[in-house]
Structure 1
Amino acid sequence: MKKSEFVFFLLLIAAVFDTDEVKAQEYKHESGGMLGISFYLGDANKTRLYLHPGFTGGILYRYNINFHWAAKANLLAGKVSGNTRDANTVFPLAQQTSFNRTFIDWGGQIEFNFLPFSDKFTYKDAKPYTPYVFAGAGVTFATGSKPFFNTNVPVGIGFKYKIKERLNIGLEFSVRKLFGDGFDAAEKNADWGLDAPYGIKSSIFKNQDWYSLTMIFLTWDFGIRHDPCCE
């Protein structure tokens, strides 16, 4: 055996039996909590961000497919509110009203990390931080004299950072498009119906409600994934 081949053989053995490498494997799962604020966009607030913000909190689970891709599920509860006096809109019958709702949001998203995300694997150019984008689907239920239930499509951006092994922190901003116009229905205007609570007809592409979430999350990794080269 040539000297170069012998050295390569020794390096290969060292890689296979490197216990530090095995210990430092990526984890497949993470779960934790989210806290933040929510606000509503619709007939009573067309464009103003963070108008009448409400508190939102919940739990999340993330499955890390690889360094770049992850699948996430969340269960959130929060508040939204609005007042037509804040809108530069003339409503039918010159009505003015306000609303308050508590909502529950359950859904899932697919995330894409712009950088390979890990605090290990520097030989693969992995980083302990990354910006990311996500999109998915979910359902929204809201309380009130006319309860609201509808599907939503979440789209958002975020940033995550590994504080230490297994512990992650992040911040994300998202908007949830609803396929209905009754999210802002209140007692005073509920008789107009959930399809047009302000007397303004809507369609799938026009005049339907949205709400937005700005959330901070803290998660814990579990479920070690072994690198095939080390098994």
Structure 2
Amino acid sequence: MKIERSVGVSLFVMSLFIMIPTADIRAQEYKYEIGGAAGTSFYMGDANKTQFYLHPGLSGGFLFRYNPNFLWSIKTGIFIANVSGKSDDSGNAFPYAQQASFQRTLAELGTQVEFNFFPYSDKYAYLGTRPYTPYLFTGAGVTYAEGNKKFIGANIPVGMGFKYKLKNRMNIGIEFSMRKLFGDDFDVTEKTTGWNLDNPFSIEGSFLKNKDWYSFTMIFLTWEFSMREDPCHGN
């Protein structure tokens, strides 16, 4: 009985490996991508709890990708953006009917891991690859923002995107992301000790509550380089 059970477990494990598509362990033709991105940005926090693209700003930057295989990528980028907010159109009722506004120019350096829904390539069709794919990503970064009260802190990006191969070695795509910060003073640009947007309700915060966010929506264009060595053909 024990032998039959062991054989059954072994067959089940083997079937799982057989079901895993081989494309996820095959390498991309080129290892790296480099390119630029541009788009819009907005802020969410005490002066904007729910509205996407309220007071949109401009965003842009440069990105670098390493593609270990068809399904996964590691992306590093540096971006600059403008964000702003006003308490009088936030939909919140603030203590003593106080009003405040802010504007920031931020710089971000971060790294993200991307997962492609489809094996991504314009070659190797026999492996089920496609020249387009939606993808999800997350990672970590550091945000620095100018203002009378400077801001620097970690962020966690969470987002989705879509990319398409225009032709060999050239990719275009669009992605949307939210960047979660670990403080409530991103929307504070004044050094005053009076009322401002730094926790105006005096409520103790937590990881998910009373923290600021900002968002990017960007179109990117990248170029692939550094052909991977092919041990079968000596390339």
Q: Quickly name the TM-score band, shorter chain normalised.
A: 0.7 to 0.9
- Is the Cα–Cα contact under 8 Å of residues 185 and 197 in structure 1 kept in the other structure? no
- Is the Cα–Cα contact under 8 Å of residues 184 and 197 in structure 1 kept in the other structure? no
Given the alignment, which residue of 108, 127, 130 partners 2:130? Answer: 127
Given the alignment, which residue of 95, 99, 104 partners 1:92? Answer: 95
Alignment of 1:166-185 (within 5 A): 166-185=169-188
Instruction: Tell me the SS of whatever aligns to 2:88.
Output: helix
Partner of 2:150: 147
Q: 1:90-111 deviations in whole A, cap 9, x for unaligned?
A: 2223210111100001100000
Q: Distance in 2 between matches of 1:157 and 1:91?
A: 34
Q: Distance in 2 between matches of 1:70 and 1:156?
A: 14
Q: Distance in 1 between matches of 2:196 and 2:185?
A: 4
Partner of 1:79: 82
- Is the Cα–Cα contact under 8 Å of residues 199 and 210 in structure 2 kept in the other structure? no
Paired amino acid for 2:137: F
Partner of 1:212: 215
Q: What's the CA shift for 1:126?
A: 1.0
Q: What's the CA shift for 1:191?
A: 2.3
- Is the Cα–Cα contact under 8 Å of residues 71 and 119 in structure 2 kept in the other structure? yes
Instruction: Tell me the SS of whatever aligns to 1:74.
Output: strand
Q: How many residues align?
A: 206
Q: 1:7-52 deviations in whole A, cap 9, x for unaligned?
A: xxxxxxxxxxxxxxxxxx7100000001010000000000000000
Q: TM-score when scaled to structure 1?
A: 0.84
Q: Post-superposition, which runs of at least 4 consecutive aligned residues in structure 1 deviate over 6 A?
A: none
2:132 paired with 1:118: no
- Is the Cα–Cα contact under 8 Å of residues 103 and 189 in structure 2 kept in the other structure? yes
Partner of 2:168: 165
Q: What do you get for the CA RMSD once the two structures are aligned?
A: 1.8
Given the alignment, which residue of 36, 39, 42 partners 1:36? Answer: 39
The sequence identity of aligned pairs, in percent, is 56
Given the alignment, which residue of 196, 212, 225 partners 2:198? Answer: 196
Q: What's the CA shift for 1:214?
A: 0.3
Tell me which moved more, 170-179 or 92-101. 92-101
- Is the Cα–Cα contact under 8 Å of residues 181 and 194 in structure 1 kept in the other structure? no
- Is the Cα–Cα contact under 8 Å of residues 150 and 189 in structure 2 kept in the other structure? no
Tell me which moved more, 203-212 or 60-69. 203-212
The structure-2 alpha-carbon separation of the partners of 1:225 and 1:85, relative to structure 1 and needing over 3 Å to count, comes to same
- Is the Cα–Cα contact under 8 Å of residues 190 and 197 in structure 1 kept in the other structure? no
Paired amino acid for 1:98: S
Instruction: Tell me the SS of whatever aligns to 1:191.
Output: coil
- Is the Cα–Cα contact under 8 Å of residues 179 and 204 in structure 1 kept in the other structure? yes
Partner of 2:15: none
Instruction: Tell me the SS of whatever aligns to 1:116.
Output: coil
2:159 paired with 1:156: yes
Q: 1:111-148 deviations in whole A, cap 9, x for unaligned?
A: 00111111111111111111000000001011111101
Q: TM-score when scaled to structure 2?
A: 0.83
Q: Distance in 1 between matches of 2:45 and 2:155?
A: 14
- Is the Cα–Cα contact under 8 Å of residues 103 and 142 in structure 1 kept in the other structure? yes
Paired amino acid for 2:139: G
The structure-2 alpha-carbon separation of the partners of 1:194 and 1:205, relative to structure 1 and needing over 3 Å to count, comes to farther
User: Which blocks of at least 5 consecutive residues in structure 2 are unaligned?
Assistant: 1-27
